Structure 1
Amino acid sequence: MAIADCMFLELPRFVDRRGDLVVVEGDSHVPFDIERVYYLCDIPQGAVRGGHGHKQLRQLLIAVSGSFDAILDDGFERKRVTLSSPSRGLLICPMIWRELENFSLGSVCLVLASMKFDENDYYRDYNEFCAAAREASL
């Protein structure tokens, strides 16, 4: 996979005077069944999250509150994107190293994942990730 395979997905947002409603349905609004949901919150100023890649897992990241930056890396190219809308999610494909930083005060990052937690699916060493990404591109 390449950074170009990662993209923003617009989620249905229903605007109402009482407040907005954003809907996310697996295999409808995201291109996978949702097997795991978690969120990052109360992130200290200057903290960096992520710092890993996945072999098979696909994720949709949503800034449900506040904003943060995602740095995406496919072993050949790096790209920084900002998430700041609860109705716009970032689809992250397998074989993409990700780092999350620059969290605004009170931000919440919701993560929808295609698989349950599996430590064997992780690349936690950047050099090992890059070697695997380059080998897969041959």
Structure 2
Amino acid sequence: MASRGLKFVNIQEHSDARGNMRIVEVDGGLPFVPVRSFIISDVPTGKTRAGHAVSCDELLIVAQGSCLITARTAAGLEEHRLTPATGAVHLGPGTWLMLSEFEPGTILVTYASERYAETRFFEDYVEMDR
């Protein structure tokens, strides 16, 4: 499966005296129609998530805290610290993904283009070079 890569997507944010609101709309720049969403939270210190290639489009947004995303794409290995200020990151199918270094209290929201039953895990993908 060839990776279509990793790209950052701007998310609308509105702030006022009541707090902040971040908006994700299908017709507002979202690169695919989401059919599933899930939240990753309460990741213990030193633990990782993912560790596989994604088989569908995914959009990752850190709502609170931060984590390190390591992705292997056709362009090579990329690492980025995701925070609420970084916007969202779009992963294309075939992108190898590792999530690590979760700050305590991190909440990561993910939107996916396929239902869970339709996704596949490619755990036998070669190890990432560090």
- Aligned match of 2:73: 74
> 1-side partners of 2:38 and 2:3: how far apart?
25
TM-score (norm: length of structure 2): 0.87
Q: What residue in structure 1 maps to residue 122 of structure 2?
A: 123
Aligned to 1:12: 12
User: What are structure 2's unaligned runs of at least 5 residues?
Assistant: none
Quick one: which amino acid aligns to residue 95 of structure 1? G
Q: Do 1:62 and 1:86's aligned partners in 2 also have CA atoms closer than 8 Å?
A: no
Distance 2:115 2:96 in 1: 18
Distance across 1 between alignment mates of 2:40 and 2:119: 22
Higher CA-based Rg:
1
More strand by share: 2
Which of the two has greater helix per residue?
1
> C-alpha deviations, 1:26-76, integer Å up to 9, x for none?
243311111000010111000010001133x00000110000010001367
RMSD between aligned residues:
2.3
Can you list the C-alpha shifts for 1:65-117, whole angstroms capped at 9, x where unaligned?
A: 00001000136721111101167001011111000000001001100001101
TM-score, scaled relative to structure 1: 0.82
- Looking at structure 1, the residues matched to 85 and 116 of structure 2 have their Cα atoms a distance apart, in angstroms, of 24
Q: State the identity as a percent.
A: 25
Give the whole-Å Cα distance in 2 for the aligned partners of 1:6 and 1:75: 9
**1:43 maps to 2:27:** no
**What is the correspondence of 1:49-64 to structure 2 with a 5 Å cutoff?**
49-55=49-55, 57-64=56-63
Q: Which moved more, 1:12-21 or 1:113-122?
A: 113-122
Aligned residues, how many?
Answer: 127
More displaced stretch, 69-78 vs 28-37: 69-78
Q: Distance in 2 between matches of 1:74 and 1:10?
A: 20
Unaligned regions of 5+ residues in structure 1, if any? 131-138
Partner Cα separation in structure 2 for residue 79 and residue 69 of structure 1 = 10
3-state SS of 1:13 partner: strand
Equivalent-residue separation in structure 1 for 2:113 and 2:28 (angstroms)? 13
